[in-house]
Structure 1
Amino acid sequence: MDAMDAVPYLLAFGLYILCSLFLLLYPQILHKKKQLAFQCRHISHRGGAGEKIENTIEAFTHALEAGTDMLELDCHLTQDGCVVVSHDKNLGRQTGYNIEISSLKLQELPPYKEKLEVTFYVGHYSTGQDRKFAPLEDVFMKFPQMPINIEVKENNDTLIEKVSSLVKKHNRESITVWATEDSDIMRKCRKQCPAMPYSFTMRRGLLLLVLFYTGLLPFVPLGESLLQFYLPSIINRTYIPEETLLKKRFVIFLMEKLTMRKSLFNHLVKRGMQVQLFVCNEEKDMEAAFSVGATGVMSDYPTVLSEYLRKHPIPPTK
């Protein structure tokens, strides 16, 4: 192929790049903007695990009083079929008893430790008067208008069905979010309650990056309503991961360069999605998250986040 033969291909490629860049800035030309029932800048991770014992009614109440817009929590199933709010399925870290939640009835669950280390703020501990595991239905009844992000970690059909039934029972499909890293679990969640908004899984998040860097993203419809991701700069500083790969400084550097792209986040926001970065427990991390284009920050410290937002008001998202 000589130089002249290549001209049409170069022109087509140039046109593709121009169209992609234009639609990245103006996605409403191809995509109807999503309309969510909530707009959350202040998200309390595990109900605010740094200020009260994580995932307790006391923690959720405290977060609400501190001014949170959304509660984030995880669920597991007890032996007698109760959906309880708990991050871990094994009670070792939270209670000191090396036993699975699924092997105990609700009334048999031991209390949380008096002092519990904050997972995403190494060396810091929380305490509180309430040390009881909360049934998910109690949370729904106590906070009927509060948006709640539910992460499902177990590929358990019964758990997913029960969570979905509780959401429908309390008429909160529009303010409850499906979240999970696993695409197979998400597929089951969406089948059980398709009316609930849902976040990107790990696999879909990787696809999102591929679409972004190849210029295809503006042309592709997306069903997700939220992108939730680590703020990379907290890894190996306030949060020490178990994964060996994440302990490598180059990996974190590469992750930050590839994922923290303001143009990507702005594009998603223009399509009506929310971008939430976690877990930001220091003001400098909150500032870093918002400066790169996050619409919301997830923190273990709802009071600290509220104070940050008071000092740094964010203009409403258009």
Structure 2
Amino acid sequence: MRSPLYYLLPVMGGYAVTSYYLLKNPHLLHKRKKLPFYCRHISHRGGAGERRENTLEAFDNAMSNHTDLLELDCHITKDGKVVVSHDLNLLRQTGHDVSICDITYEELPLYREHLEVTFFPGHYSSGSDRRFPLLEEVFQRFPHMPINVEIKEETPELVKKVSDLVKRYQRSERTIWASEKDPVMKLCQEENPDMPIMFTARRGLMLLLLFYTGLLPFVPLRESVLETYMPSIINRTYFPHSRIMRNRFLVFLQEKLMMRKGLFQHLQARGIQVYLWVLNQDSDYQRALESGADGIMTDYPSKLRCFLQRHEGAQRAGSGARGPVTADRQGSSY
């Protein structure tokens, strides 16, 4: 009687070969997604290191530095106004221990004079603009700009109002639904399924599981964007609240598991863009490009612009002898 391995090994071998082939050629099973924008330069909260986060002044500064995507966060006031703000409670940003949902828009306090950069402790931003803008103001000011709108709270009224604004300004294809929470993302999708979405935290973990089991090439993905942190910034510029997330061994393990060029290339071949956040040093910008990421999210738009210009200048110089050079990917503006 033959051992079960006699039958199992050929099956597993065939599975591994098929999985690898489809990982490299996903178009055989999946239609490529087509986002109408490509993002290399992404401004986190509008560029929170150079101007106060999520202010119109910050967004203007990001635009002047040729950003490809504005990242922002929203909450809703007591009188139903959609406000651009990262935090629901305003203590960190204003010094007032009050939540946006408990006050009207007119009652919102001003930002602090100097605000510490969340992903670069010890560094502060300032500027002339201390006002919390309305999301509608941002849409009006930047009608053609791709915007990543993160919804942090499971608030149906907020989701509906954001969706209504997106539809009113005819920007469904240029506005990304973003949230780390599955219930929130479900609300967003139900309210406006025409908007592209990012992977939630749970879906991101599932993505890794599918990749390492070889199942990823066979599974359809509804997301158009993967936004994730680069583990190597933990304990340097990013300090998670959870102590276990700061464990050195776990940081090392995450780096090995997450920063896989093969995974990023497979997603990109399926039309899914990969963004790494929040990077504020040239060495981290370089690491992100070496890992194969599409976009870099930063608090320093001018710093990233200069880095990308040098990077692409070096590429052109290095390729000069071989003829004309095209941009790294479609849509590069550097």
Q: Structure 1 stretch 247-256 or stretch 71-80: which is displaced more?
A: 247-256
In structure 1, the partner of 2:78 is 79
Q: C-alpha distance in 2, partners of 1:277/1:315?
A: 17
- Kindly state the Cα deviation for residue 315 of structure 1 after the two structures are TM-superposed: 1.0
In structure 2, the partner of 1:300 is 299
SS at match of 2:276: strand
In structure 1, the partner of 2:205 is 206
1:187-242 Cα deviation digits (max 9, x unpaired): 01000000000000011111101100000000111010000000111111012221
In structure 1, the partner of 2:329 is 316
In structure 2, the partner of 1:97 is 96
- Kindly state the Cα deviation for residue 6 of structure 1 after the two structures are TM-superposed: 2.6
SS at match of 2:226: strand
TM-score, length of structure 2 as denominator length: 0.93
- Kindly state the Cα deviation for residue 244 of structure 1 after the two structures are TM-superposed: 1.2
In structure 2, the partner of 1:139 is 138
SS at match of 1:54: coil
1:237-277 Cα deviation digits (max 9, x unpaired): 01222111112111111111111111000000000010000
Unmatched tracts of structure 2, length 5 or more: 313-326
Listed as ranges, the matches of 1:150-161 within 5 Å are 150-161=149-160
In structure 1, the partner of 2:256 is 257
SS at match of 1:120: coil
SS at match of 1:171: coil
- Counterpart check, 1:43 vs 2:45: no
Q: C-alpha distance in 1, partners of 2:305/2:146?
A: 17
Residue type matched to 1:150 in 2? V
- Counterpart check, 1:121 vs 2:120: yes
- Aligned sequence identity (%): 54
In structure 1, the partner of 2:287 is 288
1:274-305 Cα deviation digits (max 9, x unpaired): 00000010010011111101000000000011
Q: C-alpha distance in 1, partners of 2:73/2:253?
A: 29
Residue type matched to 1:218 in 2? P
SS at match of 2:154: coil
Residue type matched to 2:262 in 1? S
1:110-134 Cα deviation digits (max 9, x unpaired): 1100100000001000000000000
In structure 1, the partner of 2:188 is 189
Q: C-alpha distance in 1, partners of 2:239/2:213?
A: 32
Residue type matched to 1:69 in 2? D
Moved >3 Å (runs of 4+):
none
Residue type matched to 2:256 in 1? K
Paired residues in the alignment total 317
Residue type matched to 1:117 in 2? E
Q: C-alpha distance in 1, partners of 2:222/2:251?
A: 28
SS at match of 2:297: strand
Q: CA RMSD in A?
A: 1.1
In structure 2, the partner of 1:277 is 276
Residue type matched to 1:267 in 2? H
Residue type matched to 1:224 in 2? E
- CA gap of 1:239–1:6, structure 2 versus 1, over 3 A, is closer
Q: C-alpha distance in 2, partners of 1:170/1:159?
A: 17
Q: C-alpha distance in 1, partners of 2:102/2:187?
A: 24
Residue type matched to 1:241 in 2? P
SS at match of 1:134: coil
TM-score, length of structure 1 as denominator length: 0.98
In structure 1, the partner of 2:246 is 247
SS at match of 2:73: strand
In structure 2, the partner of 1:9 is 8
- Kindly state the Cα deviation for residue 8 of structure 1 after the two structures are TM-superposed: 2.4
Q: C-alpha distance in 1, partners of 2:72/2:98?
A: 20
Q: C-alpha distance in 1, partners of 2:244/2:154?
A: 24
In structure 2, the partner of 1:59 is 58
SS at match of 2:92: helix
Q: C-alpha distance in 2, partners of 1:166/1:24?
A: 38
Residue type matched to 1:20 in 2? S
- Kindly state the Cα deviation for residue 317 of structure 1 after the two structures are TM-superposed: 5.1
- Kindly state the Cα deviation for residue 182 of structure 1 after the two structures are TM-superposed: 0.4
Q: C-alpha distance in 1, partners of 2:123/2:238?
A: 11
Q: C-alpha distance in 1, partners of 2:113/2:232?
A: 30
- CA gap of 1:317–1:26, structure 2 versus 1, over 3 A, is farther
In structure 2, the partner of 1:32 is 31
Q: Structure 1 stretch 307-316 or stretch 137-146: which is displaced more?
A: 307-316
Residue type matched to 2:209 in 1? V
